[in-house]
Amino acid sequence: MLDAQLVKLPVAAQKHHHEHHQVVVGVQGTADLNVEGTGSRLDTWNACLVPTEATHDYCGDSQNHVLVINLDPQLPQLSSPAHGDYESLAPLFERPRALVMDSKMQGLVQFAAGEIDRSPANMPMQRHLAASILHCMADRLSENREAPVHRKAIQPGAIRRYILENLHRKITVKDLAGVACLSVSRFHELFRAATGVTPHQFILQTRLDQATKLLVSSSLSVSEVSYHTGFSSHSALTNALRKQRGTTPTKLRFGEKAA
């Protein structure tokens, strides 16, 4: 068994265990997962690896969606050291662990979630996407084992939450460095290493993500959306969307929404 599905976790806490390995990745909103004492806050930058038989508690906010990948530990990939994939995939489930994703990993997860949502009955596609995510996670886990451990870990999810809470005002790299309790230069270095983008790019992308969400799902005017997401004007938001995403507020609100 190897499958992937989009799930909305209940607001009230639940507990269970199962006879298969599981990866739970944040796709939208926030959720909490506690696996035998290892707690993980799931948002769009975090995942949790749950080994077989590990009891775990889970719940989420009203907007949460997570991507759940189930993997039978008796599959050839994991059941035999002679199999080519054993060395890379088996370490994922040695113990419960939380994983902070970089921007490329996050992009892959968001793409996979979109495709699964678009075609929920396409099981072969789901299996291929799930396998790709597992291998990318395993590859990053291997790199992290070989790389020196930073004394200060960057948490992109926490940085993103701070940005969302302060979208209406100017946010500086110094502000974000303060959240991480690091100097500006050290924060910039570690943040780029962890996410693959600069703090300025991350701020802009977070603003655009929220602006896109408001344009599609709310009745706010474009000027109001610009104000709420920290753009100086209607034209500033339009220019940023056109340059970064190849679209405009009008296309998002009417064209893409209608599609």
pLDDT of residue 257: 41
Question: With 0-12 CB in 10 A as exposed, 13-18 as middle and 19+ as buried, what is 88?
Answer: middle
Q: Per-residue pLDDT tens for 217-233? A: 888 999 999 999 999 89
| Section 61-70 average pLDDT | 90
Sign of CA dihedral 142, 65, 212, 200: negative
Q: Give the pairing of strands 14-16 and 38-42.
A: unpaired
Q: Per-residue pLDDT tens for 99-158? A: 888 888 888 999 999 999 999 899 999 999 999 999 999 888 877 654 443 444 677 888
pTM, 2 dp: 0.62
Tell me the pLDDT band of 241, cut-offs 50, 70 and 90: very high
Percent of the chain with pLDDT over 70: 91
d(CA 148, CA 140) in angstroms, rounded, equals: 13
DSSP classification of residue 197: S
Instruction: Please check whether residue 62 is in contact with residue 68, taking contact to mean a CB–CB distance below 8 angstroms.
Output: no
d(CA 189, CA 183) in angstroms, rounded, equals: 10
Sheet holding 46-50, edge to edge: 2-7, 65-71, 21-28, 46-50, 97-100
The two three-digit tokens of residue 8, written as one number: 């909305």
The two three-digit tokens of residue 115, written as one number: 């495709």
d(CA 219, CA 72) in angstroms, rounded, equals: 45
d(CA 202, CA 163) in angstroms, rounded, equals: 9
Instruction: Look up tokens 């930058």; give the residue.
Output: 45
Q: How many helices and strands in the chain, by DSSP H and E?
A: 12, 9
- pLDDT higher than 70, residue 169: yes
Sign of CA dihedral 179, 97, 106, 16: negative
Instruction: Please check whether residue 137 is in contact with residue 82, taking contact to mean a CB–CB distance below 8 angstroms.
Output: no
d(CA 238, CA 155) in angstroms, rounded, equals: 30
